[in-house]
Amino acid sequence: MPVSLPTTRPMKTFLTTTLLLLLTLPVFAADPIAKTEITHVDPKAAAALIDEKKVTILDVRTDAEYKDGHLANAINHDFTEDDFKTQIDTLDKEKPYLIHCQSGARSAKSLKAFKALGFKHIYHLDGGISAWKDASLPVTK
């Protein structure tokens, strides 16, 4: 048995409006958080970013590792701490950050948290502070 659609003007208006709302729903349901741009850099490129004062340096190693030697002006937020996401959530998400750890493994894992919190631009130091030292770049205590 064929289905007949209502032919009254108010019903047509209602159906048209409902259809338009359903078609625009995916636009309103889209993720409002801008995509995090992640750029992987080697020590030389990282040093250039630091020299040009284009980044804030975040060291995601433990406090003991940080105290043993770190990049000048680096801020320490230990990725292994339970409140890591809470700590970094207080940072300005519009600013660019250079993230690193000892070898690059922990900092690579930390990128997920930066994405989830809506940071705009992250630079990841591939190879971590080990690669930095191998490139004969300075560390401070």
Domain boundaries, the chain: 37-134
For residue 40, what pLDDT is reported? 97
pLDDT at residue 12 above 80?
no
Residues designated catalytic: 101
Q: In residues, how long is the chain?
A: 141
Look up the CATH superfamily of 37-134: Rhodanese-like domain (3.40.250.10)
Q: 91 in the Ramachandran plot: left (φ > 0), alpha (ψ -120 to 50) or beta?
A: beta
Residue 60 sits at φ, ψ, to 5 deg, of: -100, 20
For residue 5, what pLDDT is reported? 59
For residue 13, what pLDDT is reported? 74
Q: Sorting pLDDT into bands at 50, 70 and 90, what band is 9?
A: confident
Residues 6+ positions from 124 with CB-CB distance below 8 Å: 38, 39, 40, 41, 98, 99, 100, 104, 107, 108, 111
